[in-house]
Amino acid sequence: MSERSGRGPHPIPLPHPQGASPPGSRCFAATTARQAGEGEGEAVSPAGDAKKIRIATCSLAGCFGCHMSLLDIDERLFGLLELVEFDRTPLTDIKHCGPCDIGIVEGGVCNAENVHVLKEFRKNCKVLVAIGACAITGGIPALRNNLDLWDCFQEVYCYEGGLECGQIPDDPELPLPFDKVHPIYEVVKVDYFLPGCPPPADAIWKFLTDLLNGREPKLDYEMLHFD
């Protein structure tokens, strides 16, 4: 995670999602976002009549644990919803990511559909965040990278205890699986990495409120987890 020393909070008008700003711009602040105050538990100011910041999230090769941790910010979600609106997420069930300010991606890339979804996020989101170990390094799903994919399929679908007449799925509509699970930065440019498995809810909250208030996200040592 990059830092810009000496850069205090200052408001930067939030460009329209379809404006001329290049994808991946790291500067974020609604002109109405609160400028003062830092740290855990910080309230997010209502956006009033201003256009809300639009956020999309998705899970690729992940377990949804990072999304669960996002929900663990609990009642602070209500304050967040005053300032943001959600595009594609598992919460809204929108199927495709439209123009957004922030895209949050959980999970690594394990098949062709993951690549499609990830590129759609990169194309439409000004800032892309890799959340959790799976998105950053491949994580738990990447443990299969040293194994033969066919052997894995046979183990899961044919030999696993309790299976009767096991069969490896081969419907043509299923996405093509890759031999390896890849971190998302190997496929698209990533602006921020939020580590943890999953990142604690307080870390997600601090990260988001920093972004929404125009600060470069910075986590205290206690909030940084890599497991």
Q: Does 53 bind ligand SF4 (CB under 6 A)?
A: no
Applying CB under 6 A, which part among 39-47, 134-142, 156-164, 211-219 lies near ligand SF4? Answer: 134-142
- Check whether the bond before 13 is cis (ω within 30° of 0): no
CB of 22 to ligand SF4, least distance (A): 28
Q: Does 140 bind ligand SF4 (CB under 6 A)?
A: yes
Applying CB under 6 A, which part among 33-41, 57-65, 153-161, 176-184 lies near ligand SF4? Answer: 57-65
What Rg, from alpha-carbon coordinates, does the chain have? 19
Q: What is the x/- site pattern for ligand SF4, positions 84-123, by CB under 6 A? A: ----------------------xx----------------
Q: Does 197 bind ligand SF4 (CB under 6 A)?
A: yes
Q: Report whether 37 contacts 171 (CB < 8 A).
A: no
* Cβ atoms within 10 Å of 221's Cβ, excluding its own: 5
Residue number closest to ligand SF4, CB atom: 65
Question: Of 103, 138, 198, 214, which one interacts with ligand SF4 (CB under 6 A)?
Answer: 198
Which 158-177 residues touch ligand SF4, going by CB under 6 A?
none
Q: Does 62 bind ligand SF4 (CB under 6 A)?
A: yes
Q: Does 129 bind ligand SF4 (CB under 6 A)?
A: no
Q: Does 132 bind ligand SF4 (CB under 6 A)?
A: yes
Question: Of 54, 55, 65, 125, which one interacts with ligand SF4 (CB under 6 A)?
Answer: 65
Distances (CA, A) of 9 to 35, 42, 80, 214: 6, 14, 19, 6
Q: Tokens 């909030």 label which residue? A: 223
CB of 197 to ligand SF4, least distance (A): 3
How would you class 124 by CB atoms within 10 Å of its CB: exposed for 0-12, middle for 13-18, buried for 19 or more? buried
Q: Report whether 23 contacts 123 (CB < 8 A).
A: yes
Cα-flanking dihedrals φ and ψ of residue 65, to 5°? -65, -35
How would you class 149 by CB atoms within 10 Å of its CB: exposed for 0-12, middle for 13-18, buried for 19 or more? middle
CA angle 65, 172, 97 (to 5 degrees): 45
Helix/strand/coil for 106: strand
Q: Does 77 bind ligand SF4 (CB under 6 A)?
A: no
CB of 126 to ligand SF4, least distance (A): 23
Q: Does 139 bind ligand SF4 (CB under 6 A)?
A: yes
Spatial separation of the C-alpha atoms in residues 60 and 141, rounded to whole Å: 11
**Residues in the site for ligand SF4, rule: CB under 6 A?**
62-63, 65-66, 106-107, 132-134, 139-140, 197-198
